[in-house]
Every structure is written in C-alpha cells, then in structure tokens.
C-alpha cells in the first residue's frame, strides 16, 4: 500500500509539467490569418482568441481546470475552454 501511495504522489507531481504542453507558439502569419478568418486554434492564448472573436459574452472561472469563455451565437453559443496555462484546449457549441 505504501508503494501505491508513493506512486500516486509522484504522478501528481508530474501533471503540472504535462499541462504546459497545452500552449503552442504560432507565427505572426498564422495568428494574423486566424484573426482575419475569425477562427481560433487549440493552443492559442486568451489574448489571441479575444483578437479573433472579440470579448466573450460570459466568463466562467473553473477550478482547477481553467476558464471557459462563452460567445453568444443565434445558432448555439460557442464555449471556449482554457487550460491552467491560459491557452485554448478546445471549444464546443451549446444549444439550449
């Protein structure tokens, strides 16, 4: 049992390092193209999402995962999820 407990502690220490992999470095050309096309990509920083889609309608602060930004859209709200490092991990459409 002691070995299992130690293994869980070590694995827990490794998770924050793995979370840093969520951010990606984009070239200025890639970012400019995304903003012009009004698109977002996994790994983008929050500031880049705001440049592309504007300010969110609603922000939900989620612990420990990260924030969610909601953008109102008549065909379904767009929910953008951010990881602990503040970069996009994914997005989805929410229909009421």
Rounded Cα distance between 53 and 90, Å, is: 15
What's the alpha-carbon Rg for the chain, to the nearest Å? 17
pLDDT along the chain (96 residues), means of 10: 36 37 90 97 96 96 86 92 94 86
Rounded Cα distance between 67 and 22, Å, is: 14
Would you list the domain boundaries of the chain?
43-96
pLDDT confidence of residue 72 = 93
Please give the CATH topology (third level) of the domain spanning 43-96: Beta-lactamase Inhibitory Protein; Chain:B, domain 1 (3.30.1450)
- pTM of the predicted model over 0.75: no
pLDDT confidence of residue 39 = 96
């Amino acid at each position: 049992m002691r070995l299992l407990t130690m293994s869980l502690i070590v694995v827990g220490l490794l998770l924050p390092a793995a979370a840093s992999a969520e951010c990606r470095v984009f070239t200025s050309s890639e970012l400019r193209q995304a903003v012009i096309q009004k698109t977002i990509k996994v790994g983008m920083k929050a500031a880049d999402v705001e440049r592309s889609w504007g300010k969110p309608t609603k922000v939900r602060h989620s612990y420990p995962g990260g924030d969610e930004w909601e953008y109102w859209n008549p065909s379904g709200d767009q929910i953008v999820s951010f990881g602990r490092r503040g970069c996009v991990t994914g997005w989805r459409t929410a229909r009421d």
